[in-house]
Amino acid sequence: MFEKSIKQLSAGLAAGEFSAVELATEFLQRAKALNGQLNAFITLNEDLTLAQARAADATRAAGHAGALTGVPLAHKDIFCQEGWRTTCGSKMLENFVSPYSAHVVENIARAGMVTLGRTNMDEFAMGSSNENSYFGAVKNPWDVNAVPGGSSGGSAAAVAARLAPVATATDTGGSIRQPAAFCGVTGIKPTYGVVSRFGMIAYASSLDQGGPIGKSAEDCALLLNVMAGFDERDATSVERATEDYTRDLAQPLSGLRIGLPKEYFAEGLDAEVARAIDAAIAEYKKLGATIVEISLPNTRMAIPSYYVIAPAEASSNLSRFDGVRYGHRAAQYDGLTEMYEKTRAEGFGWEVKRRILTGTYVLSHGYYDAYYLQAQRVRQLLANDFAAGLAQCDVIAAPVAPTAAWNIGEKTDDPLAMYLADIYTLGVNLAGLPGLSHPIGFAGNGRPIGMQLIGNYFAEARLLNAAHQYQQVTDWHTRAPVL
């Protein structure tokens, strides 16, 4: 049951092998049994889950079932969901029950999918290890001493541990791809604007993008079909015809040109990761792909550019958490200023404070040009790099992270080391391109290794097609941790 693909679950529901309530109950039991160990969920709410499952069964009984009706999933705790506690991993929103639902949540509900729970994450999606959650670190299901990656660590861990068949996630600088890689699952960050940000709690608005995490590329494609779509409530949502992201899955890869950016395979890349990528590329060649070396010369500037732009936007986006209307408010204060100071000092964790301070600084009078504007210029250079690179190939293959998952606590005292680990994922967000991560093997210590595929704007179907074909001839994505 827990190893089934979405397609198989859907078929089982359609054939009456099990009901949505039975399915949800089984997954909930597993989640409850293992969450103490993994901390993948912040909130499980059996009543709400089963009510959704019963509604899905009723829809099916009435003959109105769609392809995904009754299929359960987990939501990253960043998507507002009416009636559910929506914390964003923060003390600030510890008791916040959203009065409305995100576009993504609405779409998924309309498809009849059943919410199993709300997954853990780095506070306000700021982090690469999921150690920045007010609700505690998430453990990597492959090794509970390892981080699961971040910020969508809860979603990746839940799928890897088979606590949920698929999960929603978001990616601002790698937050879908990197935890997917660390946990041995598949995830895709779509082109900026494909998935509505309405109701998705903002970290860095010009970079944030929702996407699916699943066991396979096929599962991701099916969930993306439901998540994506124009939304007039998000002014950055792209208005274009709806796509079926599964349409090209079966296409053979003969003639596919894979670009390898030389800057991504230079100093700093762990030898085990490099070897795993070599092996994966060899598989792709067997499937008919050809390899071209490309150059993305400004790659190393992605880190400073990202760590100016993202905190700048975050410093403004997080101003609304002021204790006035909802969320945490300090118990004792004298006057307005102290109410703000204490509320925000108590409500935010260290990494969030660090980024608010950084962002406030780079936007300040006299520094704006030197930092923010300069970072925006670099951002354009990075986009130009990708445009030139993608003119020479169909997809770019790259590492997701320099290493496999590190140990919990290993980098918590060194934020800079943590930031540097984002080097291979940030560029995609700065350029607004789609990026996919799929498992390609394991490090010597048994921790998963992933590989990234980067495509041109709106080339999601192509990326999913490539990963799916790879997954037809390999079994890394079917491996599950022993729990």
The residues that are catalytic are 76, 151, 175
- Stretch near another protein under the rule CB under 8 A, chosen from 19-27, 228-236, 269-277, 442-450: 228-236
CB atoms within 10 A of CB 303: 18
Q: Which position among 27, 84, 142, 198 is part of the footprint of another protein (CB under 8 A)? A: 198
Q: Which position among 27, 307, 372, 424 is part of the footprint of another protein (CB under 8 A)? A: 372
Q: Looking at beta carbons only, is 350 or 368 nearer to another protein?
A: 368
Q: Which position among 200, 220, 443, 461 is part of the footprint of another protein (CB under 8 A)? A: 200
Q: Is position 94 an interface residue for another protein (rule: CB under 8 A)?
A: no
* Phi (first) and psi of residue 397, to 5 degrees: -105, 140
Q: Looking at beta carbons only, is 62 or 235 nearer to another protein?
A: 235
Q: Looking at beta carbons only, is 85 or 479 nearer to another protein?
A: 85
Q: Which position among 88, 158, 161, 440 is part of the footprint of another protein (CB under 8 A)? A: 88
Sheet holding 72-76, edge to edge: 41-44, 114-119, 72-76, 166-171, 209-214, 186-189, 435-442, 448-455, 395-399, 257-261, 290-294
Q: Is position 126 an interface residue for another protein (rule: CB under 8 A)?
A: no
Round to whole Å and give the CA distance between 290 and 24.
Answer: 44
Q: Looking at beta carbons only, is 358 or 471 nearer to another protein?
A: 358
CB of 311 to another protein, least distance (A): 12
Q: With CB under 8 A, what is the number of residues at the site for another protein?
A: 44
Q: Is position 312 an interface residue for another protein (rule: CB under 8 A)?
A: yes
Q: Looking at beta carbons only, is 185 or 318 nearer to another protein?
A: 318
**Which residues does 101 contact at the CB level (< 8 Å), separation at least 6?**
79, 80, 81, 82, 109, 199
Q: Is position 365 an interface residue for another protein (rule: CB under 8 A)?
A: yes
Q: Is position 234 an interface residue for another protein (rule: CB under 8 A)?
A: yes
Q: Is position 197 an interface residue for another protein (rule: CB under 8 A)?
A: yes
Residue 151: half-sphere exposure toward Cβ, Cα within 13 Å: 29
Residue 116 vs residues 49, 165, 227, 281: alpha-carbon distances, Å: 6, 10, 17, 36
DSSP sequence for 337-361: HHHHHHHHHHHS-HHHHHHHHHHHH
- Stretch near another protein under the rule CB under 8 A, chosen from 4-12, 283-291, 316-324, 470-478: 316-324
Round to whole Å and give the CA distance between 353 and 356.
Answer: 5
Q: Is position 287 an interface residue for another protein (rule: CB under 8 A)?
A: no
CB of 171 to another protein, least distance (A): 16
The token duo for 206 is: 């010009």
Round to whole Å and give the CA distance between 158 and 141.
Answer: 8
Q: Is position 364 an interface residue for another protein (rule: CB under 8 A)?
A: yes
User: Torsion angle, CA of 153/155/161/163, rounded to 10 degrees?
Assistant: 150
Round to whole Å and give the CA distance between 339 and 347.
Answer: 12
Round to whole Å and give the CA distance between 52 and 108.
Answer: 11
Q: Is position 202 an interface residue for another protein (rule: CB under 8 A)?
A: yes
CB of 200 to another protein, least distance (A): 5
Residues in the chain: 483
Q: Looking at beta carbons only, is 154 or 214 nearer to another protein?
A: 154
- Stretch near another protein under the rule CB under 8 A, chosen from 55-63, 149-157, 194-202, 472-480: 194-202
Q: Which position among 116, 159, 201, 382 is part of the footprint of another protein (CB under 8 A)? A: 201
Q: Please choose, from the candidates 36, 117, 29, the residue with its C-alpha nearest in 3D space to the C-alpha of residue 74.
A: 117
Q: Looking at beta carbons only, is 59 or 374 nearer to another protein?
A: 374
Q: Is position 457 an interface residue for another protein (rule: CB under 8 A)?
A: no
Q: Is position 333 an interface residue for another protein (rule: CB under 8 A)?
A: no
Helix (H, G, I), strand (E, B) or coil at 311: helix
Q: Is position 199 an interface residue for another protein (rule: CB under 8 A)?
A: yes
Q: Looking at beta carbons only, is 129 or 209 nearer to another protein?
A: 209
Q: Which position among 86, 130, 209, 469 is part of the footprint of another protein (CB under 8 A)? A: 86
Q: Please choose, from the candidates 478, 16, 456, the residue with its C-alpha nearest in 3D space to the C-alpha of residue 218.
A: 478
Q: Looking at beta carbons only, is 299 or 317 nearer to another protein?
A: 317
Q: Is position 97 an interface residue for another protein (rule: CB under 8 A)?
A: no
Q: Is position 326 an interface residue for another protein (rule: CB under 8 A)?
A: yes
The DSSP bridge partners found for residue 451 are 399, 438
Q: Is position 363 an interface residue for another protein (rule: CB under 8 A)?
A: yes
DSSP sequence for 324-339: SSSS---SS-SSHHHH
Q: Is position 307 an interface residue for another protein (rule: CB under 8 A)?
A: no
CB of 319 to another protein, least distance (A): 2
- Stretch near another protein under the rule CB under 8 A, chosen from 214-222, 250-258, 356-364, 451-459: 356-364
Round to whole Å and give the CA distance between 158 and 333.
Answer: 40
Q: Please choose, from the candidates 171, 193, 181, 283, the residue with its C-alpha nearest in 3D space to the C-alpha of residue 238.
A: 193
Round to whole Å and give the CA distance between 430 and 363.
Answer: 18
CB crowding 378-389: b at 16 or more within 10 Å, else e: bbeebbebbeeb
Round to whole Å and give the CA distance between 388 and 76.
Answer: 34
Q: Is position 472 an interface residue for another protein (rule: CB under 8 A)?
A: no
Binding site for another protein (CB under 8 A): 79-80, 86, 88, 93, 96, 98-100, 102, 197-202, 204-206, 232-236, 312-313, 315-316, 318-322, 324-326, 336, 340, 360, 363-365, 368, 372
